C-alpha cells in the first residue's frame, strides 16, 4: 500500500500520513501559507500555517480541538534522537551482515 505524502516546506522534508491523520486543509500539507509572506529587511519569509503550526498534518483530535503548540526545541530534539537511533541501527545491521 502506497502512503500519501506531501513536501513540507517548513520542515524541509516529505511528510507521510499515518493512520488517523489527514493533511491540513489550510496549507494542504506544506506547513506554510504560500500566498502570504512576511517581509523583513528586504527578505521574504514564509508564514507558518496557524492551523497545523507548520507540521502539515493533523490527527482527528487536532482537527476538532486544534493543534497544541509544541516547544520547537523538544520537537527537533525528538527528531534528532529518532534519526540518530536509525543511524545506529543501520550501522549495527551493516556490521552484523559483514561478519556473516
- Could you tell me the residue ranges of all domains in the chain? 1-67, 70-100
Q: Which pLDDT tens digit goes with each residue over 44-73?
A: 677 889 999 889 999 999 999 888 887 767
CA distance 24 to 74: 22
What's the pLDDT score for residue 82?
86
Mean of per-residue pLDDT scores for the chain? 84
For residue 27, give the C-alpha cell.
Answer: 496549507
Looking at residue 69, its pLDDT comes to: 80
- What global pTM score does this model have? 0.59
pLDDT of the residue at 1: 45
Beta-strand ranges (E) seen in 53-93 are: 57-59
| Mean pLDDT, rounded, for 71-89 | 82
Q: What are phi and psi of 95, to 5 degrees?
A: -65, -40
46 compared with 82, residue with greater pLDDT:
82
Amino acid at each position: 500500500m502506497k502512503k500519501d505524502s506531501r513536501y513540507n516546506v517548513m520542515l524541509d522534508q516529505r511528510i507521510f500520513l499515518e493512520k488517523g491523520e489527514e493533511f491540513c486543509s489550510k496549507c494542504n500539507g506544506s506547513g506554510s501559507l504560500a500566498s502570504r509572506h512576511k517581509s523583513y529587511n528586504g527578505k521574504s519569509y514564509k508564514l507558518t500555517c496557524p492551523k497545523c503550526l507548520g507540521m502539515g498534518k493533523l490527527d482527528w483530535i487536532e482537527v476538532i480541538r486544534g493543534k497544541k503548540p509544541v516547544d520547537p526545541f523538544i520537537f527537533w530534539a525528538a527528531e534528532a534522537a529518532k534519526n540518530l537511533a536509525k543511524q545506529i541501527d543501520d550501522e549495527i545491521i551493516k556490521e552484523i551482515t559483514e561478519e556473516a
